[in-house]
Amino acid sequence: MGAAEPPVLLAACAASAPYLHAFRAGTCGGGDVKLAYVCGGLATRWDAALVMVAAAALLALVAALAARRSRHGQPHAPALALALIAVSDPLG
């Protein structure tokens, strides 16, 4: 799809870049990087993809603060999915 629609490829790369850096730092998993890439492509615009990443980070922070007692990391996929829904244009 990225070859036919370069903005989609740009959005996918923009969304996955922060996750790739976090993966290299050991603070997220490879699944988060792959999901961010797909969600960024679904966002279809690079600016929407970056807003999606920021919103997902905020949602994940709120979830982590709400569950402070947990010693394990919080899953990031639900926050990313909700952020994608928030930035998606329902009319196309």
The predicted pLDDT at position 70 comes to 60
Taking 70 as the pLDDT cut, the residues of the chain under it are 69-73, 91-92
CA distance 86 to 28: 22
Phi, psi of 67, rounded to the nearest 5 degrees = -115, 50
**Which H helix or E strand runs over 87?**
helix 77-87
How big is the CA angle at 69 (ends 73 and 85), to the nearest 5 degrees?
A: 50
Does residue 70 lie in a domain region? yes
Q: What are the tokens at 80?
A: 């990313």
Number of domains in the chain: 1
Residue 70 Ramachandran class (φ > 0 left, ψ -120 to 50 alpha, else beta):
beta
Question: In the prediction, which pLDDT does 45 show?
Answer: 92
Within 8 A by CB and 6+ apart from 3, the residues are 9
Predicted TM-score of the model (pTM): 0.86
Domain that holds residue 76: 6-87
Question: What pLDDT, on a 0 to 100 scale, did the predictor assign at position 16?
Answer: 96
